[in-house]
Amino acid sequence: MGKQYLELQLLTDDQLSAVVELDQRCLGGLWTRDGYQREIDSPNSDLIIWKRVNENENSQPILEELQLPKIALKDISISDHEVIGIGCLWAILEEAHITVLAIDPEYQGKGLGQGLLFALLVSAWKRKLERATLEVKVTNQRAINLYQKFGFKQAGRRKGYYQDTGEDALILWRGDLHRP
């Protein structure tokens, strides 16, 4: 079969089923297939995925000008899922609202969330957006640490924001997207 890699790509219609499966594993079915299709079709949304690719597969990496490398999969028996990460942002006026950031549980803790968040912020920068915002569960310390590493600061709290658990959400903001 040859070597396999993970590569950041834009979500296409071909991966919709794989993304809905990932959403189920990570987010408990936050969005439906139709919801992801609407995002693909929207000029105000960017959906970026970590996708498994074979070494001689003709792929379409994003952010080529940044020369982000493919990540070799050393243990390909971990999971055979085609898509192992998804990130989405909405461009609203001069703001990037990050609506989804999820990594397959079997791949968490390997820095893939950092790569995906970086790709979303570069995408926002390319759109000339000035700020980024997102909500995160107050108990998701791993995600909070990631966002703080990228300069996000707490700006507020939404009581009972998450319907599945009734948990509060922290509202995080990062400005100065036009600066490195």
Residues with active-site annotation? 135, 147
Closest listed residue to residue 68, CA positions, set 121, 8, 130: 8
Place of tokens 């139709």: 34
Which residues make beta-bridge pairs with 157?
A: 170
Q: How far apart are CA 163 and CA 161, in angstroms?
A: 6
User: Chain-centre distance of CA 64, in angstroms?
Assistant: 18
Q: How far apart are CA 25 and CA 146, in angstroms?
A: 20
Largest CA distance in the chain: 49
List the end-to-end C-alpha distance of the chain, in Å, as a whole number.
Answer: 40
Q: Which amino acid is at 83?
A: V
